[in-house]
Amino acid sequence: MAARLSTRISLRWVPDEPEELTNTLVMNVGGYFMDLRVNKADQSIDWAMAGERQILSKNPLKCRWIKAIDSLGPSDPDEGIFSPLPNGDDLETGSMPCAHKNDAVTDYEEVWRKLDLVPGPKRAWIIQTVEDSSHGGTFLGRVAGSFMALRQKDDLSFSVRSESLDENAQWNVIYAVGQVEGVPSFAEVGISEFEGEEEWKEGNIVSVLGTKYVVRAFEDLSSEMV
């Protein structure tokens, strides 16, 4: 499945009315995902997670998300079924615990919209720190001119960065939430790409700003950005 950037348009806990209280960005690259949901009201983290994305079936499209890091704490994998809507958006349906219903497992409906890629290097990747930890770790992801960093420490505290290239090829910080000191950032370092990233391949161990990462997914976007 091609690399993709998506945003959520609405969430509905059945039978309630749909609403959208977050700004959400999801990166899908190969068999991995990064998902950042920031509350519109106060710019706090609503939910942030990253890990493996499995395709269970294609007709209908059914996915499973196995979270390696999760700002809400360890949990079982989630599953959802996608169906196309007439306007080109996608409807995801499934069930999961609902926080404001005392974590009762509740049916949900989410509407997702594919985003145009931000101009930038014609590649997409997701990498994960090599250190073996049952609770923590860092995921970095890029899709062309969009970058995301999600870090969970062993105490389960979470820090996130989201950045985007502008028309002058300068990185703008969209979100920097939590203890972001030391969390990799293109904007802070003042570079457009990490050393050697154009040569990365899935499974490689690479060094980014002095830390070792494993390349979980890598895609060439040349055919999508012509």
User: What's 165's domain CATH number?
Assistant: 2.40.128.310
Q: For the chain, first and last CA: distance in Å? A: 19
Please say if the pLDDT value at position 59 is more than 80. yes
Q: Are 105 and 173 contained in the same domain? A: no
Q: Are residues 148 and 75 in the same domain?
A: no
For residue 207, what is the enclosing H or E element?
A: strand 205-208
Q: Are residues 129 and 75 in the same domain?
A: no
Of 178, 225, 179, 188, the residue nearest 209 (C-alpha): 188
The answer to whether 70 and 152 are in contact (CB under 8 A) is yes
Query: What CATH number has the domain bearing residue 99?
Result: 2.40.128.320
Structural domains counted in the chain: 2
Q: Report residue 202's pLDDT band, with 50, 70 and 90 as the boundaries.
A: very high
Nearest Cα residue to 5 out of 225, 226, 182: 225
Instruction: Compute the average pLDDT of residues 111-137.
Output: 89
Task: Tell me what the mean pLDDT of segment 140-161 comes to.
Answer: 95
DSSP letter (8 states) at residue 19: B
Same domain, 106 and 138: no
- Same domain for 16 and 103, yes or no, is yes
Confidence label for 132 from pLDDT (cuts 50, 70 and 90) = low
Does one domain contain both 107 and 10?
yes
Extended beta strands in 61-116, E state: 61-70, 78-84, 90-98, 104-114
Q: Of the residues 65, 89, 114, which one is the last residue of a structural domain? A: 114
Residue range(s) defining the domain that contains residue 191: 123-224
Examine residue 60 and say whether the peptide bond preceding it is cis (omega within 30 degrees of 0): yes
Average pLDDT over residues 167-175: 94
Residue 54 and residue 129 in one domain = no
Predicted pLDDT at 193: 93
Pair (164, 136) in one structural domain? yes
Out of 114, 141, 163, pick the residue that ends a domain: 114
pLDDT at 10 over 80: yes
